Structure 1
Amino acid sequence: MSGGMFSYADEAFAFVENLDRLATPAAILDAMETSLSRFGFDSFIVAGLPGPGERVERVVLLKKWPAGWFEIYINRDYIRHDPIIRRCRNAVQPFEWADAPFDPKAEPRSLEVMNRATDFGMKRGFCLPIHGINGYEACISMSGTDLDLTSRTKPALHLMSMYAFERIRSHLNPAPIPGLKRLTGREREMLAWAAAGKSAADTGDIVGITERTVTAHIVSACQKLEATNKTQAVARALQYRLISI
């Protein structure tokens, strides 16, 4: 996929609008496969982070992994040695796989995980940690060999992935999030500008308030939507029609 900032934003918003028309997780899986491929990704997984003794297959929501890799991953108990998972538990913002450090000499099993993933064509990747206020932990991890990962594409991928997760979550647990109807008009306005890719400083200049006030409104909206970051709040606000694009 090539083009400027607006083409990446258009791709993200088209993805969001398309997901609203899909009624099953299988359809969401197909939509994710199509859209993520435009950024060079050919494999991805949406899963909770298992607790001690919890089996990986019980927390997987959706996946498109190379044939045979999931079985190896389970049988070799790679979840306990995967540096991506370890970084995901301690990170809030998205990160590239290369930014999940480990010591190859001291952690040979971690090196084994990454080498075997490469054997299956999963050479580079991008991961989005998801942390719920109630302690729930999940991630969306995607990979490929020739990825389009730049300062322009990463925000689009973040929003797309967060929205996909919210749609999947709503299928599995359709109960609305408490507090959805308590957003103020100003909070909705700030999230709408955030959805358009505007920073707090940009939004403050547009609407004539300080950057600090914009940030305060967004923080308040995040709390009401039980979101751990701005992108998750935007995704939930879009899902429940609190803002439009």
Structure 2
Amino acid sequence: MGRFDAIFSAFELLDKAKTEVSLRDTFAAAVRQFGYDSFMVVSSRIQPTAFDKMFILDHWPRAWRLQYHRENLILVDPVANYARKSFNAFGWHEAPVIDQRGGRVLEISAVEHGLRSGLCVPIQGTSGYQATVSLAGHAVDESKEGRRAVEMMALYLYKTNLKLKSESRTFTLTPREREVMRWAAAGKSAWDTGEILHISEQTVKSHISSVLSKLGVCSKTQAVVESIRRGEIHP
């Protein structure tokens, strides 16, 4: 199978995944064609004391993950540091090493766990750095085409996982209440929102009153802030 076909085959299979486990396993099979045996997706929040909470998807050797956490290697990891600044995918060996001794210890330990070569795909959004997809293997395809193929699949994996989480999450507010709050966040009055949604001003006010009760706040402004914080609406 050519690289182009491999990419779109992976896209189709990722779209069919219904759980995070099937999403993880589908991606693992797709990147194995390019020599990658392991990968992880971690969030932008560095939590050295709660490292496992950083993982979004985990297909990493357990022994290596435990050592990385136990020795707090994230603090000397040049890949983790560079991922927060780079907009492009890069090979592990391309990350600038700040702590020479720590970087060397990290490299030796990774190789001992079979992570000989790696690729890092930073996920950057409009609000800045969001996550990292890091992949490793014994004999990876390091060609420009191979790297681009894996980068595209990694970005699609992250997007698909977000979509899966969104579809499976439970909202506190009803769809209509979220709609009303989206217009409130845009600065619209109850009358304006009623005109836009083709409902009465009083109905809009009733929805807002319900939202205040559900979110435990006292004003519409507080309700907007809390709705955004909880992910009920997006700014």
Q: SS state of the match for residue 26, structure 2?
A: helix
Q: Residue 134 of structure 1: CA displacement?
A: 2.3
Q: Which is richer in helix?
A: 2
Q: Residue 49 of structure 1: CA displacement?
A: 2.6
Q: Compared with structure 1, are the counterparts of its residues 37 and 52 closer, same or farther at alpha carbon in structure 2 (3 Å cutoff)?
A: closer
> What is the CA–CA distance in structure 2 between the aligned matches of 1:13 and 1:93, rounded to whole Å?
21
Determine the structure 1 residue equivalent to 2:80. Answer: 85
Specify the structure having the higher radius of gyration (Cα).
2
Most deviating of 67-76 and 127-136: 127-136
Quick one: which of 116, 131, 134 aligns to 2:124?
131
The answer as to whether partners of 2:47 and 2:54 remain within 8 angstroms in 1 is no
Q: SS state of the match for residue 143, structure 2?
A: coil
Q: Residue 54 of structure 1: CA displacement?
A: 6.3
Q: Deviations over 1:73-100 (max 9, x none)?
A: 1111111111101110110000001101
> What is the CA–CA distance in structure 1 between the aligned matches of 2:65 and 2:160, rounded to whole Å?
24
Equivalent residues, number: 168
Quick one: which of 11, 14, 38 aligns to 1:16?
11
| RMSD of aligned residue pairs (Cα, Å) | 1.8
Determine the structure 2 residue equivalent to 1:64. Answer: 59
Question: Runs in 1 of length 4+ with deviation above 4 angstroms?
Answer: none
Q: Residue 169 of structure 1: CA displacement?
A: 1.5
> What is the CA–CA distance in structure 1 between the aligned matches of 2:11 and 2:18, rounded to whole Å?
13
> What is the CA–CA distance in structure 2 between the aligned matches of 1:148 and 1:83, rounded to whole Å?
22
**Identity value in percent:** 25
Q: Deviations over 1:21-50 (max 9, x none)?
A: 111110011111111111001010011132
Q: Residue 56 of structure 1: CA displacement?
A: 2.3
The answer as to whether partners of 2:48 and 2:69 remain within 8 angstroms in 1 is no
> What is the CA–CA distance in structure 2 between the aligned matches of 1:53 and 1:141, rounded to whole Å?
18
Q: SS state of the match for residue 68, structure 1?
A: helix
Quick one: which of 34, 37, 44 aligns to 1:42?
37
Determine the structure 1 residue equivalent to 2:147. Answer: 154
| Aligned partner letter, 1:169 | L
The answer as to whether partners of 2:41 and 2:57 remain within 8 angstroms in 1 is yes
**TM-score, scaled to structure 2:** 0.67
Q: Residue 171 of structure 1: CA displacement?
A: 2.1
| Aligned partner letter, 2:160 | R
Q: Compared with structure 1, are the counterparts of its residues 26 and 12 closer, same or farther at alpha carbon in structure 2 (3 Å cutoff)?
A: same
> What is the CA–CA distance in structure 1 between the aligned matches of 2:4 and 2:142, rounded to whole Å?
14
> What is the CA–CA distance in structure 2 between the aligned matches of 1:147 and 1:53, rounded to whole Å?
29
Q: Compared with structure 1, are the counterparts of its residues 44 and 111 closer, same or farther at alpha carbon in structure 2 (3 Å cutoff)?
A: same
**TM-score, scaled to structure 1:** 0.64
Q: Residue 101 of structure 1: CA displacement?
A: 2.1
1:168 corresponds to 2:168: no
Which stretches in structure 1 are left out of the alignment for 5+ residues?
Answer: 176-245
